[in-house]
Amino acid sequence: MPKGWAHFQSIPFSRLLVLYLAVFALFSTFGFYGDLMSGGQMPYLLVALNMLQSGLTAVLWVYVLARLRLIFLIFPIALSMSNGFTTAFFDEWLIRVLNLEPVARETGIRFSANGTMITIMLSYALFVIFMRREGKETFKLKNELELAQGIQKTLVPPFTLRTECFEIYGISKPSEKVGGDLVDALALTNGDAIAYVGDIAGHGLQAGILMGMLKTAARTALLGSEDREPCRTLPVLLDRLNTVLPGVKEAHMYATFTAFRLGLDGSVYYAMAASPPILHWHASGLALSKVEEEQFPLGLLPVQEFSGQQLEMEPGDLLAVATDGILEICNKREEEFGVERLEQTIVAHALAPLPELASKILDAANQFGRQADDQTILLVRRL
């Protein structure tokens, strides 16, 4: 289906009825046109029938384009191609059977001219009514999207969190009004902190709704986690999220997830669910290493148990996680930004303040190619 017509499939028939009437009125003027071309002498019944045929043919075109697959265009095409022959044959048959008399030339021309003006004005009025109604719907949708965008900013604002041993920064830049990426951090009552980044498959409003559910589920699952063994906190979190998500999402949707437990004593535990690698910049050697794990995403399969690992961080070390919206951004040659270019950007600005480093990463990615997916970054520095 042509892209310009695709949105009509979601419009109820009752709202399209005015459009059909407007199209019918506009193209029914072909009946008057035929009468004028014949000198205005066509019997009124034939003029009316020709108007009906022209209008219905035009409506069929619109209906097929708006509601059916392109293969069904064969019907309006065939009807349009045969209209001339069938109209002439049918008109002659009616004249012969009903003994229709020609209309006086002057009267017929005046009739068709006035009829053309009236039907054009009627079609114009119907088009205006249709556009006003759709304009109201569009305005309503725009307001709802702006409201959703406000909720998005509330759910995923840029943030900085400092504990005794760590500084955490996160930022998410949706590709549309509403995005499906999530980055969050919270301090536990014992001085530890939890930081995580998630990526809902897809983007837009549907992904944004599931993202909000994921954040709520994650924060709920983390209640009381300060009393849990640090090595078990994140595997339990992923297990619970993987149990909850299937009941609140479409079957094809899932989430990738990376989480850290950052201890008051400087310890770091992490767990991953099919997410991009963790990039670890080592301050002592001014070098960068990569942490990857093969795990299933959340909400897709009934995984029995997710695993977690400990990660050694020295003072000054930096951890970075970026979602696919950064790694998979493409240039004009269809080359991806990729992990290697992300590593180069991190190494070049590793000592910068975390908000500045995140800005450098986003700038580098968006100078490389056009944003097509939500872009999210989580940065953790050992103080």
Query: What is the percent of the chain with per-residue pLDDT over 70, rounded to a whole number?
Result: 93
- Measure the CA–CA gap between 377 and 346, rounded to whole angstroms: 12
Two tokens, residue 289: 């290493």
pLDDT reported for residue 96: 80
What are the structure tokens assigned to 353, written together?
């303040």
CA 380 to chain centre: 30
pLDDT at 87: 74
The domain over range 156-382 is classified in CATH as 3.30.420.40: no
pTM beyond 0.75, yes or no: no
Helix (H, G, I), strand (E, B) or coil at 381: strand
Q: In what order do the strands lie in the sheet with 375-382?
A: 159-162, 166-173, 375-382, 318-322, 278-282, 287-291
Asked if pLDDT for residue 98 goes beyond 90, the answer is no
Rounded to whole angstroms, what are the CA distances from 215 to 158, 257, 379?
15, 11, 18
The predicted structure's pLDDT at residue 177: 66
Looking at the chain, the domain(s) classified CATH 3.60.40.10 span 156-382
Residue 79 pLDDT exceeds 80: no
Q: Looking at the predicted structure, is the pLDDT value of residue 148 above 70?
A: no
Average pLDDT, the chain: 88
Q: How far apart are CA 92 and CA 99, in angstroms?
A: 10
pLDDT at 360: 97
Sheet containing strand 268-273, edge to edge, reads 181-187, 193-200, 255-262, 268-273, 309-311
Burial (0-12, 13-18, 19+ Cβ within 10 Å), 328: middle
95-131 exposure pattern, b = at least 16 Cβ within 10 A, e = fewer = beeeeeeebeeeebbebbeebbeebeebbeebbeebe
Q: What is the DSSP pairing of strand 159-162 with strand 166-173?
A: antiparallel
- Please choose, from the candidates 234, 194, 236, 197, the residue with its C-alpha nearest in 3D space to the C-alpha of residue 214: 197
206 dihedral zone (left: phi>0; alpha: psi -120 to 50; beta): alpha
pLDDT digits (tens, 9 = 90+) for 209-246: 888 889 989 999 999 888 889 999 999 999 999 999 98
Burial (CB < 10 A; 0-12, 13-18, 19+), residue 55, is buried
What average pLDDT does range 350-360 have in this prediction?
97
Distances (CA, A) of 23 to 19, 50, 60, 125, 242: 6, 15, 10, 11, 51
Identify the band that residue 331 occupies on the pLDDT scale cut at 50, 70 and 90. Answer: very high
